[in-house]
């Protein structure tokens, strides 16, 4: 049975968030509250595979100051608002590694967390990145050092909460419930204004909760716009049989598109091949070249056709720089550029040609300063 004093302390903290920072407080109005004294701290998770809940250890809450408790509640709310529960399961990440990475993505936005919380600076990483970004960085470091994730954080702190309740649930139902909660929380916060919630965090939350769009439709629309820009109607030669009064017209398509594949180590062969294959059915009435790059141009531009798109032999696997491929698009006078990338590189100045950035779901939180972004859903 729940300790009434602890329960009141928790409800008081939630009420204060509802009043002053509804982005966080609104989340807990839609969660079951469960005592879980077998758990060391606190956690959001799932019960009965379809219901969201807040689990808490009474002794843990009793040992927190009021401000620390609100900070930990913000931490839990952000796991919901940024869809960490479903993203962790969907992409098949190592649970411990993603636990740490998700905390790094969240903690840099919260003041007043209990001592020992992990922050990106402990790993010489910048703030304001996604959990997936930190996961890839930590995985690479762990592989290079030949250690596990606990070895990486030894002496640096530990995770704020327990993510053991993230593992067994109905993906579609929980995703729908998370999205519904997030939409209400965003709406309530917008009534008050974002206030002391950073612009970067607000952008991440809003982006994570945008309605899903059909990425193939978006890519086709981008290509069709280029086609229309380069379409020219010319008079046809008269047909002697039918006379010259109505010779008709024909269309010449002159638009040129460059499709660039980022072959740095964080984009998998499967992801690149899937995107290349899907492009096959989208390219009509436009001249398309494709190229591979990492920090340099790894191939020359080659005409893109159905045969070329069926199999991509990947070369490169270094870091990422957008400068060489964007300079090539400018110097070669392309009308548009599509870059399939993880987005982890500095951005050159905005170009004059049209741009489309294509990223995988696990990089969906990456923000681009110009151009259109589409998120490529994982192959079912």
Which CATH number characterizes residue 276's domain? Answer: 3.40.50
Tokens coding 293: 């790059």
DSSP helix/strand/coil, 176: helix
Q: Are 282 and 223 in contact (CB under 8 A)?
A: yes
- CA 323 → CA 1, 67, 328, 332, 371, distances in Å? 61, 46, 9, 14, 15
Where does a domain end: 178, 208, 238? 208
Closest CA relative to residue 356, chosen from 343, 345, 344: 343
pLDDT surpasses 60 at 1: no
Q: Quick one: 133 and 229 in the same domain?
A: no
- What is the spatial distance between Cα 288 and Cα 239, in angstroms, rounded to a whole number? 33
pLDDT, greater one: 342 or 108: 108
In a shared domain, residues 82 and 119: yes
Mean pLDDT score of the chain: 87
What is the model's pLDDT at position 117?
A: 95
> What distance in Å separates the CA atoms of residue 342 and residue 268, rounded to the nearest whole number?
10
Pair (166, 291) in one structural domain:
no
Output DSSP code: residue 50. Answer: T
**Residue 284, pLDDT above cutoff 80:** no
How many C-beta neighbours within 10 Å does residue 198 have? 13
Q: Which one has a higher pLDDT value, 271 or 83?
A: 83
Instruction: Determine the pLDDT at residue 282.
Output: 77
| CA-based nearest residue to 358, from 257, 258, 219, 265 | 219
Does pLDDT of 116 surpass 80? yes
Shared domain check, 164 and 53:
yes
- Beta bridge partners, 107, equal none
Query: Which pLDDT belongs to residue 224?
Result: 86
Whether the per-residue pLDDT at 10 is higher than 50: the answer is yes
The last residue of a domain, from among 164, 189, 208: 208
The residue that leads in pLDDT, 235 or 289, is: 289
pLDDT of residue 101: 95
Task: Answer for the pair 185, 209: CB distance below 8 angstroms, yes or no.
Answer: no
Residue 92 has pLDDT above 80, yes or no: no
What tens digit of pLDDT does each residue of 234-269 get? Answer: 444 555 554 545 555 455 557 889 999 998 876 777
Separate counts of helices (H) and strands (E) for the chain? 14, 11
Q: Which of 36-45, 265-274, 334-343 has the lowest mean pLDDT?
A: 265-274
Per-residue DSSP letter, 362: G
Indicate the helix (H) or strand (E) that contains 331: helix 323-331
Residue 181, CA atoms < 13 Å, CB-side half-sphere: 25
Local confidence band at 151 (pLDDT 50, 70, 90 cut-offs) = very high
Specify whether 113 is located in the same domain as 188: yes
- What confidence tier does 233 reach under pLDDT thresholds 50, 70, 90? very low
Handedness of CA 147, 150, 151, 156 (dihedral sign): positive
Q: In this predicted model, what pLDDT tens digit does every residue of 156-179 receive, in sequence order? A: 999 998 888 887 888 889 999 999
* CA-angle at 206, arms to 205 and 209, nearest 5°: 90
**Per-residue pLDDT band at 310 (split at 50, 70, 90):** low
239 and 159, same structural domain?
no
Number of domains in the chain: 2
Which residue in this structure is represented by tokens 């398309």?
288
Least confident of 88-92, 215-219, 326-330, 361-365: 88-92
Give the DSSP letter of residue 79. H
- Is 291 found in the same domain as 162? no
Clarify whether residues 195 and 261 are in a common domain. no
Q: What is residue 210's predicted lDDT score, i.e. its pLDDT? A: 82
CA–CA gap between residue 96 and residue 150 (Å, rounded): 8
Tokens of 336: 């548009």
Same domain assignment for residues 330 and 291: yes
* Stronger pLDDT, 247 or 317, i.e. the higher one: 317
**Predicted local distance difference test score (pLDDT) of residue 202:** 93
Stretch among 102-116, 134-148, 311-325 having the lowest mean pLDDT: 311-325
Per the structure, the complete domain to which residue 310 belongs is given by 215-376
Cα-to-chain-centroid distance, residue 94: 18
Q: Which two tokens stand for residue 135?
A: 């996961």
Provide the pLDDT for residue 234.
47
Q: Are 333 and 278 in contact, with CB atoms under 8 Å apart?
A: no
pTM of the prediction?
0.70
Q: What phi, psi does 71 have (nearest 5°)?
A: -65, -40
> What percent of the chain is predicted at pLDDT more than 70?
89
- Asked if 312 contacts 345 with a C-beta cutoff of 8 angstroms, the reply is no
Query: So what's the pLDDT on residue 307?
Result: 61
Structure confidence at residue 333 as a pLDDT band (50, 70, 90): very high
C-alpha–C-alpha distance, residues 252 and 229, integer Å: 11
Query: Do 49 and 197 share a domain, yes or no?
Result: yes
Query: pLDDT-derived band of residue 311, with 50, 70 and 90 as boundaries?
Result: low
Q: Which residue has better confidence, 219 or 314?
A: 219
pLDDT (0 to 100) of residue 291: 93
Residue 188's pLDDT is 95
What confidence tier does 231 reach under pLDDT thresholds 50, 70, 90? low
Q: At what angle do helices 66-81 and 171-192 cross, to 10 degrees?
A: 120
What band does 306 get if pLDDT is binned at 50, 70 and 90? low
Cβ atoms within 10 Å of 364's Cβ, excluding its own: 21
Domain stops at, among 179, 208, 237: 208
CA distance to 115, 122, 157, 378, per residue, from 154 (Å): 15, 11, 7, 34
187 lies in the same domain as 280 = no
**282 secondary structure, DSSP code:** T
* Whole-number Å distance between alpha carbons of 55 and 36: 6
Is the pLDDT score of 329 beyond 90?
yes
Q: Does 132 share its domain with 176?
A: yes
């Amino acid at each position: 049975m729940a300790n009434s004093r602890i329960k009141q302390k928790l409800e008081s903290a939630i009420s204060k968030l509802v009043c002053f920072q509804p982005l966080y407080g609104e989340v807990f109005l839609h969660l079951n509250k469960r005592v879980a004294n077998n758990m060391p701290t606190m956690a959001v998770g799932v019960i009965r595979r379809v219901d969201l809940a807040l689990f808490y250890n009474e002794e843990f809450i009793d040992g927190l100051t009021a401000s620390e408790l609100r900070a930990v509640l913000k931490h839990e709310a952000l796991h919901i608002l940024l869809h960490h529960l479903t993203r962790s399961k969907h992409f098949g990440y190592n649970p411990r590694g993603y636990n740490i990475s998700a905390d790094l993505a969240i903690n840099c936005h919260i003041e007043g967390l209990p001592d020992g919380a992990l922050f990106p600076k402990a790993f010489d990483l910048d703030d304001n990145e996604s959990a997936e970004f930190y996961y890839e960085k930590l995985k690479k470091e762990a592989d290079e050092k030949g250690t596990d994730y606990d070895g990486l954080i030894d002496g640096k702190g530990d995770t704020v909460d327990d993510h053991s309740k993230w593992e067994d649930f109905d993906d579609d139902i929980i995703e729908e419930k998370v999205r519904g909660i997030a939409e209400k929380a965003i709406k309530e916060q917008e009534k008050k204004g974002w206030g002391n919630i950073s612009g970067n965090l607000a952008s991440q939350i809003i982006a994570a909760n945008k309605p899903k769009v059909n990425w193939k439709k978006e890519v086709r629309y981008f290509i069709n716009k280029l086609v229309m820009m380069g379409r020219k109607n010319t008079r046809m030669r008269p047909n002697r049989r039918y006379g010259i009064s109505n010779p008709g017209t024909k269309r010449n398509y002159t638009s040129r598109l460059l499709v660039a594949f980022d072959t740095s180590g964080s984009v998998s062969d499967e992801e690149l091949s899937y995107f290349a294959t899907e492009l096959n059915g989208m390219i009509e009435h436009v001249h398309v070249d494709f190229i591979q790059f990492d920090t340099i141009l790894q191939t020359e531009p080659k005409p893109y056709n159905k045969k070329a798109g069926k199999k991509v032999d990947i070369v490169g696997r270094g870091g990422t720089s957008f400068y060489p491929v964007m300079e090539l698009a400018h110097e070669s006078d392309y009308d548009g550029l599509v870059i399939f990338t993880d987005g982890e590189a500095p951005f050159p100045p905005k170009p004059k040609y049209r741009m489309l950035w294509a990223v995988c779901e696990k990089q969906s939180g990456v923000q681009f300063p110009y151009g259109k972004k589409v998120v490529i859903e994982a192959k079912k």
